[in-house]
Amino acid sequence: MKRAPLTYNPPKRSAEDALAFREIEREYHVRAFGEELARVNLDLTKEERIRYIQWMRENAQKRGVKTERPPPYGFKDDDGNE
Amino acid sequence: MNDLELHEFYENLVRRLRSKGVLCAITGSLACVHYGIAESTKDCDLLCHPASFEKLLALLVRTKVEETPCQYRGNISPPLDARWHRGGWTSHFEWDAPAGKVKLDVFGHGLRESRPWAGDLLGFYAGPGTVAAMKRTNRDKDWPFVDSLGVRMIEAGNDEGWLHLFERDNLLRMLERHDCPDAVVRLRPSLKLAREKDSRLAGALLAERLLWEELDRVRVQMLERFLRPYVNAMRKASAGRKLSLPADHELRVEIAAEHLPENPLADFGVEKYVAECRQNLVTGQIIHPDIARWLPDVGTYFNWLES
């Protein structure tokens, strides 16, 4: 299992149904996140996904992209400057 | 700490809290990654039952990262106190470690929770319904996570997932293969349009999303306005001093008691707040008045503020 299960119950759906779900899900992930992240989301294990995100963030930081989440409530920084 | 170690650190925090009987769960970005949707934020959002805040604070006081103690983040964080969390305020902590900051945001309530988050847990994590509801923000980037969680919920046999699909094509494709129960359609009128393949569906779904965005925008604006005097008072009182977490906590409670209303949204009136947001969309000509009748009753997502 690549991803954390969302239920403690055994799967009720047929293999064909599950396959159809995967197809719809993949199409949506490609539309919403792009090919590469769709692969990260659907084909990697949690551990691989976390490593990929770290690599992505470090790469972005090297190129000067800010990856920090902004402070809440629209302040410029945590001290409350605006 | 690399990201894997960070995930372990946060899960271990939850493990230690639960061993003391604390009801808590990881939500937000880390939960999305856990459920199979990559999010680049490495900060942890933690849901914790307000009755256990003392235990959580005590654990944070004892927990160090690379010998660095935990502290409140700057002046903006309201205190970790049930009185303010009941009103939707959140508390923000960090470990300013040499290798980088480790951040923890604490929520006593799941924002936009339609029922208590504690009834919807999966392992160390908040259930997907809670995570998806908390992602209905005014940030574009959050919405694909809502849809993705909705699909996975339906796949897992959880019909609440139908409440989280906001993209027309995604929703119609799902309906081709699976029934959406009448009880769920009653909660969300746009699902009726989807069932009937009505051409107004895309507009109705967009209007719904715009309503959630407006609700979030107005909420944040209101909280920000009320937070400003508190932040100013905190700045004066702390005057750049480095206080221990317990001392800082005491100070924040004292200042919040004077400067921070506990529940500004409830004081304003939840019904009035929702009605004004709907009205903003119509008067601002953001949505057509006819489409407004397909908007769901969102009051149920804010009932906890008045309970």
Tens digits of residue pLDDT in B242-260: 899 999 999 999 999 999 9
The mean pLDDT of B138-157, rounded to a whole number, is 95
Report how far residue B141's alpha carbon sits from residue B39's, in angstroms, rounded to the nearest whole number: 10
**A33–B38: do the CB atoms touch at under 8 Å?**
yes
Q: Does A26 touch chain B (CB under 8 A)?
A: no
Q: Note whether residue A40 is domain-resident.
A: yes
Interface test with B, best of A17, A25, A59 (most B CBs within 10 A): A25
* Mean pLDDT computed over every residue of chain B: 95
Tell me how close the Cα of A1 comes to any Cα of chain B, in angstroms: 11
- Please give the share of chain A, as a percent, with pLDDT higher than 90: 49
What is the pLDDT at residue A70?
A: 80
**A2–B36: do the CB atoms touch at under 8 Å?**
yes
Q: Note whether residue A69 is domain-resident.
A: no
CA distance readout (Å), B175 to A19, A21, B197, B229: 15, 11, 10, 50
Q: Does B157 touch chain A (CB under 8 A)?
A: yes
Domains and CATH numbers, chain B: 3-107 (3.30.460), 133-204 (no CATH), 210-306 (no CATH)
Residue type, B22: V
Q: How distant is the alpha carbon of residue B158 from its chain centre?
A: 20
Confidence band, pLDDT 50/70/90 cuts, at residue A5: confident
Tokens of B101: 């900051």
* Helix segments in B20-139, DSSP class H: 28-35, 53-62, 82-85, 128-134
Tell me how close the Cα of A64 comes to any Cα of chain B, in angstroms: 15
Partners of B157 on chain A (C-beta within 8 Å) are 7, 9, 12-13
Q: Does A16 touch chain B (CB under 8 A)?
A: no
Q: Give the residue from B139, B140, B137, B159 showing the smallest Cα distance to B150.
A: B159
Partners of B173 on chain A (C-beta within 8 Å) are 24, 27-28
Tens digits of residue pLDDT in B48-88: 999 999 999 999 999 999 999 999 999 999 999 999 999 99
CB B280 within 8 A of CB B292: no
Q: Note whether residue A32 is domain-resident.
A: yes
Which pTM value belongs to this model?
0.95
CA dihedral (B226, B227, B229, B233) in degrees, to 10, reads 150
Q: Note whether residue A25 is domain-resident.
A: yes
In which domain, by residue range, is A27 found?
19-62
Tokens of B99: 């290798």
Q: How many domains does chain A have?
A: 1
- Work out the burial of residue B141: count CB atoms within 10 Å of its CB; fewer than 13 is exposed, 13-18 middle, 19 or more buried: exposed
Task: State ipTM.
Answer: 0.91
